[in-house]
Amino acid sequence: MNTLARNAAHAFGENRLTLVAVVILALLVLCAIFGPSLAPYDPLMTDGAARLVPPSAAHPFGTDALGRDILSRVIVAARLDLGMAVAAALLSFVGGLALGAIAGYFGGWPDRIISRVMDTIMAFPLFVLAMGIVAALGNSVLNVIVATVIINLPFYCRFARSEVNVRREMGYVEAARMGGNTALPVLVTYIVPNILPPMMVQVSLNMGWAILNAAGLSFIGLGVRPPTPEWGIMVSEGASFIISGEWWTFVFPGAALVLAVFCFNLLGDGLRDLLDPKRRT
């Protein structure tokens, strides 16, 4: 524990950016939990008299074509955007860990089948596959999450598979087997806890990508429907006002996306430095 604390002190001291990322994360989580009560206006309330108002004291981020307050919409959207990404990252983490552990521990035909399925997913450009999945399953938020889970699965699965594979012949695992444990307890109590730290780094690095993916899908009109506030769809709604110069309509929701992705990427890097100082680049 002492080394972990020292590593933490080092990671934060060395890399102030990780500290910045923690602060941004706190802000995002705050918005996601208390969004509706933090927002100065109702995110769905239209105001015909205040259409496309530039940023001002009353509307710090301006208003959109229907006179809705963009700041309120950006804040409230945090819940949906982060929710989709967290749900997708966690589900692919759990699914990938389970499949990867089975493939890595048992080898043989389970390994061959699982690996072949993962290879097949990876044979597609991933965003294109996600589009195809949402088109096939139906245009809904749930299916955007399902699509994101499927395209993320191979990364977790391959990672877990190789980590389990390395450990299954190790002394402590042999000892656990000798002690009369069957495959499941060996995996769950002896192997998985050991591969959790590197997997967590993977989750954190993956979160940013999950956000980008879900936002990209809603940008092209999949998943979230108007008037629901969501960053990707807000950018897409604001896009039509670029050529008339109403930049605030797309810049603020886009900036929120960038901030969120940037935050998770930095956290991932920081977490890796913390748990696995050797793998620094």
Partner 1 sequence: MHFFWKRLLGTIPSLIGVVLVTFLLSHALPGDPAAYFAGPAANATSIAEVRAKLGLDRSLPVQFLHYADDLRQGNLGNSLTTGQPVLSDLIERLPASIELTFFALAFAVVAALPLGVWAATRPDSIVDHSCRALVSIGAAFPTFFIGLLFVYLFYFLFDIAPQPLGRLNEILYTAPPRITGAYTIDSILAGEWGVLRASLAQLILPSVSLGMFALAPIARITRAAMLQALGSDFIRTARASGLPTRKILINYAFRNALLPVTNVLGMVFSFLLGGSVLIEQVYGWQGVGAYAVTAVISSDYAAVQGFVLTMAFLYVMLNLVIDLLATAIDPRVRFES
Rounded distance between C-alpha atoms, residue 77 and residue 55, angstroms: 19
Q: In angstroms, rounded to a whole number, what is the distance separating the alpha carbons of residues 121 and 117?
A: 6
Is 76 or 118 the residue whose CB approaches partner 1 more closely?
118
Distance (Å, rounded) from C-alpha 149 to C-alpha 169? 31
Contact between 124 and partner 1 per CB under 8 A:
yes
Q: Which region among 42-50, 157-165, 194-202, 218-226 touches partner 1 (by CB under 8 A)?
A: 218-226
Q: Rg of the chain's alpha carbons, rounded to an integer?
A: 22
Asked if residue 88 lies in contact with residue 155, where contact means CB atoms within 8 angstroms, the answer is no
User: Helices in 39-170 by DSSP H: which ranges?
Assistant: 70-106, 108-122, 126-137, 141-167
Site string for partner 1, 178-217 (x = CB under 8 A): ------------------------------x---x--xx-
**C-beta of 251: minimal distance to partner 1 in Å?**
8
Residue 32 CB neighbours (<10 A):
19
Per-residue tokens: 269: 């890097």
| Of the residues 25, 127, 165, 197, which one makes contact with partner 1 according to CB under 8 A | 127
Q: Is 166 in the site for partner 1 (CB under 8 A)?
A: no
Residues from 62 through 121 that contact partner 1 (CB under 8 A): 116, 119-121
- Count residues binding partner 1 (CB under 8 A): 48
CA 175 to each of CA 169, 180, 189: distance values in angstroms, whole numbers, following the listed order = 10, 9, 13
Enumerate binding residues for partner 1 (CB under 8 A). Answer: 116, 119-121, 123-139, 208, 212, 215-216, 219-222, 232, 235-236, 238-239, 242-243, 245, 247, 250-251, 254, 257-258, 261-262, 265-266, 281
